[in-house]
Amino acid sequence: MMGRQEPKMRISERALTVWKLYGWISAAVTLLIGAGLTTLTLIFDWSVWFIIGSAIALILEIVLFVFVLPTLKWKRWRYEVREEEIELQHGIFIVTRTLVPMVRVQHVETEQGPILRKYRLATVSISTAATLHQIPALDINEADALRDSISALARVAEDDV
């Protein structure tokens, strides 16, 4: 046997937009800190390396968190909800594949913050008695449908957890 197939479904492409937006937001924070540091350096005549350092940090952050990592993360994220099981795959540097049988699922939730809402996305959280699994940034309709179908498919087994 040649190993299990990857799960088939990808998450919404708008997730990429949102993650890039998160990247820009954190870059803006870095920019503010860098600007403050630069001002202080100019006033108090500190080493020029403070300015160079914050510029490099800012560029690195933008390259990594806006351009490189979100794409890698999106490419890796896969999920598949079948009749009797849910399978997830994610992780850039450490790939994680998870299998949760439907009978183990205790409840499903969708949630969205302001940014996710603007892009009509939602996060689906799947809880078992001991673990929590999340599928980030699905299209809101897809997320709602998924939530409904999981909770319809999931029935807690007779065994005590």
Partner 1 sequence: MSEEKRLHPITAVMNALKTLKEAFIPFVILIFLNRGERESFLDYLPFLVMGAMVILFLFLGVIKWWRFKYWVEEDELKIEQGLFVKKKRYIPFERIQSLNYTEGVLHRPLKLVKVKVETAGSSSTLESEAELTAITKVEADDLNRMISAAKKRLKEEHSVVPEGEEIVEQEPDEQVLYKMSPKDLVVMATTSGGAGVVIGGILIFLSQFGEIIPYEAVFQELIDFVQAGFLLAGILAVVVFFVAWLIAVGLTFLRYAHFTVKLVDKDIVITRGLLEKKQTTVPLKRIQGITFDQNIMREPFGYTSVTIESAGGSVLEKDSNAIRLLPMIREKETYAILDEILPEYHWKTEFTGAPKRALKRYIFWKVLFSLVLIVPVSYFFFPLGLISLILIPLAVILGWMQYKTAGWSASHDQLTLKYRGISKQIVYLKKKRIQSVEWTQTFFQHKGDVATLHATIKSYTSGSHSSIAHVAKEDADLVMDWYSPEAEVKKVHEPIMTNPELEGQ
Residues at the interface with partner 1 (CB under 8 A) = 1-4, 82-85, 91, 93-104, 128-131, 133, 157, 159-161
Centroid of chain to Cα 3: 26
Closest to partner 1 by CB, 59 vs 99, is 99
Q: How far is the CB of 90 from partner 1 (least distance, A)?
A: 10
Q: How far is the CB of 131 from partner 1 (least distance, A)?
A: 5
| DSSP single-letter state for residue 123 | E
Q: How far is the CB of 158 from partner 1 (least distance, A)?
A: 10
Query: Helix (H, G, I), strand (E, B), or coil: what is residue 143?
Result: helix
Q: How far is the CB of 7 from partner 1 (least distance, A)?
A: 12
- CA 99 → CA 108, 117, 147, distances in Å? 16, 28, 17
Phi, psi of 47, rounded to the nearest 5 degrees: -65, 145
Closest to partner 1 by CB, 86 vs 138, is 86
Q: 12: which residues sit within 8 A by CB, 6+ positions away?
A: 121, 137, 138, 139, 142
